[in-house]
Amino acid sequence: MKVEGRGVIITGATSGIGYEITKMLYNKGARILAIGRNESALEGLKKEFPNLKVLRVDLADRKARKIIIPYALEVLEDLSILINNAGVGYFGKTLGSNPEILDRVMEVNFWAPLDLSLSFANIKSGQKSIIVNIISLIAFVPLPKWNIYAVSKSAERVFFISLREELRKYGIKVINLYPPAVKTPFFENSLGEKPKPVGFMVDPQKVASKVLNAIEREKEEVFLSFRDFIIAKIGSLFSPTISKLYGFR
């Protein structure tokens, strides 16, 4: 699908990967509704991209996020693409962790994409449209201390693989993208302990161009490299070794 003139909702547009996707799609002529919580970052987006619309929503709030799809229909002339990008990490021991924080991770990373996608699919049924999910390679390779985050991402992965088959006959495509570690404020924004720095990281611009390419070519399962594809296929076998290497055990 070409993005020119298409209405696009992007969650987590205020930072990192979401910001780069917003910039790339806007410059390609998409009409964007940007979602985030950071008011000054949303104001900054409006200044940088004059035709872009913004909406401040805490995606962990079930009631608040219900307004996103109706609002998009009101302010965008078209609604063809939903990009579930917003996410939050949790790094730390599971034993003794605060259940409210764990709930929050699941709300933002799993329940919000699920809710938004079902509302989107209900109104788009029979019209060509696309749902994109920015998941993570960790959905395939669970690591100690990242386990709650990994659970939220693997639940998202499995849910959308299954939903993809159900929505296909209604003309709605589902794209799942699995980035490795990316150079964004994600690690400092993660809840819990301060995560250890990761050696190899890719640029968020690379993720954004993969997203654009996947939309244009209507790909379904997207890895950033062949290396990532192999990690996804066999990585879980090496999970204990990786844990040892990073001193997680």
Ligand X SMILES: NC(=O)c1ccc[n+]([C@@H]2O[C@H](COP(=O)([O-])OP(=O)(O)OC[C@H]3O[C@@H](n4cnc5c(N)ncnc54)[C@H](OP(=O)(O)O)[C@@H]3O)[C@@H](O)[C@H]2O)c1
Q: Is residue 14 close enough to count as binding ligand X by CB under 6 A?
A: yes
For ligand X, which residue of 182, 211, 215, 222 counts as binding (CB under 6 A)? 182
Q: Is residue 186 close enough to count as binding ligand X by CB under 6 A?
A: yes
Closest among 12, 212, 15, 206 to 109, alpha carbons compared: 12
Question: Which lies closer to ligand X via its Cβ, residue 44 or residue 165?
Answer: 44
Give dist(CA 35, CA 21) in Å, integer. 12
For ligand X, which residue of 30, 33, 72, 86 counts as binding (CB under 6 A)? 86
Give dist(CA 66, CA 28) in Å, integer. 28
Q: Is residue 161 close enough to count as binding ligand X by CB under 6 A?
A: no
Cα distances (Å, whole numbers) of residue 137 to 178, 189, 236 = 5, 19, 11
Angle at 184 between CA 58 and CA 223, to 5 degrees: 95
Q: Is residue 148 close enough to count as binding ligand X by CB under 6 A?
A: no
Contact region for ligand X (CB under 6 A) — 23-31, 74-82, 177-185, 222-230? 177-185
Cα distances (Å, whole numbers) of residue 43 to 39, 100, 199, 238 = 6, 30, 33, 44
For ligand X, which residue of 6, 9, 10, 18 counts as binding (CB under 6 A)? 18
Interacting residues with ligand X between 23 and 62 (CB under 6 A):
36-38, 41, 57-60
Contacts of 17 (CB under 8 A, 6+ apart): 85, 134, 179, 182, 184, 204, 207, 208
Contact region for ligand X (CB under 6 A) — 73-81, 94-102, 174-182, 241-249? 174-182
Site residues for ligand X per CB under 6 A: 12, 14-18, 36-38, 41, 57-60, 85-88, 108, 134, 136, 179, 181-182, 184-186, 189
